[in-house]
Amino acid sequence: MRLGINLQCSDKELLELLQNRLGVGKINYSKSKNQYRLILFKTDILNVIYPYLQNNNIEFLNYNRRKQYFLFKYIIENNITHWENLNLEEINNLFQKSNKQLDFTDILKLPYFNNWLIGFTTAEGSFHIKSNGSAHYSIVQSGHENYNLIKAIHYFIKGSSSLDHKINPEDSKVYRISFSSKIDLTFIVNFFDNNQLLGLKKLQFDNWKSYIISNNKIISSAPNVLLSKVSNNTSTVLNNNKKESSNE
């Protein structure tokens, strides 16, 4: 049992930061992939990672990661030591029965949502400039089970006016959202200024931000539609947002 985090060579310092903060793990270089990898072994996971996730009530939000984590917990809680002792079909059925179906409003209410979005952007997000000079922040995720992840990010940036907006997949299972309006870019810049990225993605953001500011592609202020738009009462949020949308 182990956990591996692979990053390109230019992000080695980010892996070193993780290793130093966690106090565990080993960094290896993969010549075939030209990447560095932080490896957390079984004792690291059991003594540091698993207790941290449990004590802070942190959940994985991506569907595949949730399945992997469920299998991991099953192995630990049932003291499984050999792969052939696993009934994967039975475990998958147990996962389907116990997996929480998080609505996008549930995701937004998570106390670590901002930090999660930083990590998710590092892995799946992109700051880019198109050939016509327009600046975009986009993020991609595959799988119908992850629709509410994409919806949560879209609502987080666009606010209540996007409540009834349906995000259609590019093909059978890939969802992509992209933001380029002045109001959206201003919100995104403010968010990442106050919730800093790290490593190569931080450098990409800084270059992207310099471009859009120098080319006057953002406005001086934008409405704050952060977590204040989602209260603890989901039904109230939905009803209030529908009223706001109808008045716009």
- Indicate if the pLDDT at residue 224 is higher than 50: no
Confidence bin at 221 (pLDDT 50/70/90) = low
What is residue 226's predicted lDDT score, i.e. its pLDDT? 43
Write the CB contacts of 104 (distance below 8 Å, at least 6 apart in sequence): 148, 149, 151, 152, 155
Higher pLDDT, 223 or 147: 147
Q: Which residue has the tokens 């539609």?
A: 225
- Spatial strand order of the sheet with 26-30 comes to 2-8, 35-41, 26-30
- Spatial strand order of the sheet with 135-142 comes to 125-129, 135-142, 174-179
Lowest mean pLDDT among 86-90, 225-229, 235-239: 235-239
- Interval 171-180 mean pLDDT: 90
Q: Residue 145's closest CA among 112, 192, 101?
A: 101
**Is 19 in contact with 28 (CB distance < 8 Å)?**
no
The Cα 109–Cα 99 span in angstroms is: 18
Confidence bin at 6 (pLDDT 50/70/90) = very high
- For the segment 65-123, what is each residue's pLDDT rounded down to a tens digit? 999 999 999 998 898 888 888 999 999 999 999 998 899 999 999 999 999 999 999 99
The Cα 237–Cα 105 span in angstroms is: 9
- For the segment 33-46, what is each residue's pLDDT rounded down to a tens digit? 899 999 999 999 99
List, in sequence order, every beta strand (DSSP E) within 98-210: 125-129, 135-142, 174-179
Q: Which residue has the tokens 């942190």?
A: 58
Q: What is the pTM of this model?
A: 0.82
Higher pLDDT, 67 or 219: 67
**Is 22 in contact with 50 (CB distance < 8 Å)?**
no
What is residue 170's predicted lDDT score, i.e. its pLDDT? 87
Per-residue burial over 80-100, b if 16 or more Cβ lie within 10 Å, else e, is: eeeeeeeeeeebeeeeeeeee
What is residue 90's predicted lDDT score, i.e. its pLDDT? 93
**Is 243 in contact with 175 (CB distance < 8 Å)?**
no
- Indicate if the pLDDT at residue 189 is higher than 50: yes
